Structure 1
Amino acid sequence: MTDAWSELPERAQTLLRVLIDRYTDEGAPVGSRALARMSDLNLSPATVRNVMADLEDLGLVRAPHTSSGRVPTELAYRLFVDSLLTAPGRAPVDARRLERILREAAEDDPQHLADTASNLLSSLTQFAGVVTIPSRARALFRQIDFVSLSPGRVLMVLVTNDGGVQNRIIHPDKPYSQDELTRFANFLNERLNGQSIQALRETLVAELKSTREQIEGNLSEAITLAESAVEAVEDKAGVAVAGQVNLMGIDELGDVDRMRRLFNAFAEKRELVSLLDRCERAQGVKIFIGRESGSPTFDECSVVGASYGVDDEVVGVLGVIGPKRMPYDRVISIVDVTSRLLSSALSRQ
């Protein structure tokens, strides 16, 4: 795609960039006379119209109305954004201020950190900021307790070394007395203390299963409860969202039905999680423009996202959701810098 941008004639690149910049600022079609005046190419409006006609044939611009100016298409934005991603420089961001705020927030619980980061993204871009709550996969297992609530219902309480507490009601295949549950908990605490949650999921349960025969009595049944404990700390549905109301003032998102769908997505968060998961699997900053998101809810939006992590392990994703005519150079910089600083803040814990 980057080659496609560079293959455009130089004056076509310049006019298309001016069109994107002007449309980003004003949200209205741009006429040939205005493009001629703003491009500094010393071209007549007639020549500009010819270039615009060529770009329209390539699917890069369109005229919303017969006598109106042009607006960029999703394809034009894609070519433009790909050219930005390979550019040596980025829009300036006050990294020192962000670093201080995120370091302070990282000393608190993960929810507060995600809320702080999403508010920063929203305030810096004036769009919606979204951040998945850092996974506890790196946390260390400290203690587990089981409390019998009623036949077939057990409250599991899992505590990690970072102060996190997870509660979940589980439903064992058969009833256990409180004495049996206490015995299970003691057994697991002795075996699992100090293990990372990630290690538990990947290796420990399998290791315990392979030694069932060596475990006395019915303690092997504690393995099933241990599996429930691991699942309890891997709920990745938590997403902090800030600045949704910023989208209400954007004309192309102002349709009542579209805005209702957007706000439902922000409230229910399932579509957000699915979209952000795609950013988690990508390297660097990932941009979905319009229909690239694969979700009709966001077909008039762009999403700029990036993962963040600790020690090369991804623990969450952050991003900005706004209109397709967002200032991509600035938003990409903000998302990129924030993801790096958030990773750094978590590494210092």
Structure 2
Amino acid sequence: MDKRAQILLKTLVEHYISDGQPVGSRTLSKCSGLDLSPATIRNVMSDLEELGFIISPHTSAGRIPTQRGYRFFVDTLLTVQPLHQQQIERLEFELSSPDPQELITNAAGMLSNLTQFAGIVMVPKRKTVSFRHLEFLPLSEKRILVIIVTSDGNVQNRIIITEKSYSASELTQASNYFNQHYAGNTFEQVKQRLHDELKQMQADMTRLMGAAMEASSKALDDDKDAVVIAGERNLLQVDELSTNVGSLRKLFEVFERRTSLMQLLDNSQRAEGIQIFIGGESGYLPLDECSMVTATYETNGQTVGTLGVIGPTRMAYERVIPIVDMTAKLLSNALSKN
């Protein structure tokens, strides 16, 4: 693509992002800064359309960028706008809590507030922890509350349903046995030891211990790879999305299940710097009308998670990219201080 075509494509994409209307040759002639006749501009537009960078909607003589056009624009033509000092100070203030979970929640909220799209933050994967203490408490005839305390002070409560009823003394005995023999082991180690040793115990107690380990593992798995999402409802205000109920339903199903988001964020974590997924490029977002901008964040120099913004493909990338980048850097600094 020659320089003239690049300038016209850049002008077209920027105008379409700004007002959402197909861009005609007259607008390009006025705003591109090029001294070209309307006929020449139309010829260049025709070439860009043939190359797949732009398309002409049926209802308009103007043109709009395709996914390929956005990709070329973002990779080659984009001029990023640095954040204002006031925005940076606002981010620093929000990301100054001593509580890591609050920092992550605040980061998602700030990404959403500053972009008016959906902000997402992947919670760091938990380190391998050992179990410190476990307690069984009877709730009803066959329902038991398991309280699990890990070595890092995390407390999880889980309810298990048993095949038979256990007396309070039996549950106390089971708790004491468990804590005496397995405290200080990781959950994987406890599982293996249980597998080998519980064969020698009574069958009823074996089932109770097995159920407790299953609940303990689930307690950790529920935290692992979690995603904090803020501002999903902002997307209801985006014209390209709000007019298509079916598309919105698909998008909100992704937010609800979160599995696809976690896979996408996990994949993004393997790359350095800003990652931009336009339309269906990611393979996880269900809509061609959506884009995602992500960046990794660190703790003490080690990458621990990914954050980003989901919005329409017609987003102001020059604004969103520095917001995502700065949020990642400030979150890294805040987590490292803790």
**TM bracket, shorter-chain basis:** 0.7 to 0.9
Partner of 1:275: 261
Displacement of 1:73: 0.2
- Distance of aligned partners of 1:296 and 1:99 in 2 relative to their CA distance in 1, 3 Å threshold: closer
CA contact (8 A) 2:251 2:285 kept: no
- Distance of aligned partners of 1:29 and 1:136 in 2 relative to their CA distance in 1, 3 Å threshold: same
CA contact (8 A) 2:95 2:103 kept: yes
Partner of 1:37: 30
Partner of 2:116: 126
Partner of 2:103: 113
Displacement of 1:292: 2.8
- Distance of aligned partners of 1:320 and 1:194 in 2 relative to their CA distance in 1, 3 Å threshold: farther
Displacement of 1:254: 2.5
CA contact (8 A) 1:304 1:320 kept: yes
Distance in 2, Cα, partners of 1:185 & 1:317: 39
Q: Which amino acid aligns with 2:133?
A: Q
1:168-210 CA distances to partner (integer Å, 9 max, x unpaired)? 1124566554444434444554566667xxxx35x53465358
Partner of 1:246: 234
Q: Which has the larger displacement, 163-172 or 135-144?
A: 135-144
TM-score if structure 1 supplies the norm length? 0.78
Superposition map of 1:76-115 within 5 A: 76-83=69-76, 90-93=80-83, 94-104=87-97, 107-108=98-99, 110=101, 112-115=102-105
| Partner SS for 1:288 | strand
Partner of 1:156: 146
Displacement of 1:35: 1.2
Distance in 2, Cα, partners of 1:91 & 1:176: 65
CA contact (8 A) 1:135 1:234 kept: no
Partner of 1:329: 318
- Distance of aligned partners of 1:19 and 1:142 in 2 relative to their CA distance in 1, 3 Å threshold: farther
Displacement of 1:217: 5.1
CA contact (8 A) 2:182 2:190 kept: no
Does residue 277 of structure 2 align to residue 291 of structure 1? no
Q: Which amino acid aligns with 2:316?
A: P
| Partner SS for 1:28 | coil
CA contact (8 A) 1:307 1:316 kept: yes
Displacement of 1:53: 0.7
Q: Which amino acid aligns with 2:215?
A: S
Does residue 337 of structure 2 align to residue 348 of structure 1? yes
Superposition map of 1:172-183 within 5 A: 176-183=166-173
Gaps in structure 2 of 5+ consecutive residues: none
| Partner SS for 1:100 | helix
CA contact (8 A) 1:159 1:166 kept: yes
Partner of 2:21: 28
Displacement of 1:64: 0.8
TM-score if structure 2 supplies the norm length? 0.80
Q: Which has the larger displacement, 35-44 or 137-146?
A: 137-146
- Distance of aligned partners of 1:174 and 1:245 in 2 relative to their CA distance in 1, 3 Å threshold: closer
Displacement of 1:15: 1.4
| Partner SS for 2:139 | strand
Partner of 1:319: 308
Q: Which amino acid aligns with 2:53?
A: L
2:218 paired residue among 231, 240, 243: 231
Distance in 2, Cα, partners of 1:312 & 1:210: 38
Percent identity, please.
Answer: 44
Aligned residue pair count: 328
Distance in 2, Cα, partners of 1:34 & 1:71: 13
Distance in 2, Cα, partners of 1:248 & 1:309: 32
- Distance of aligned partners of 1:344 and 1:174 in 2 relative to their CA distance in 1, 3 Å threshold: farther
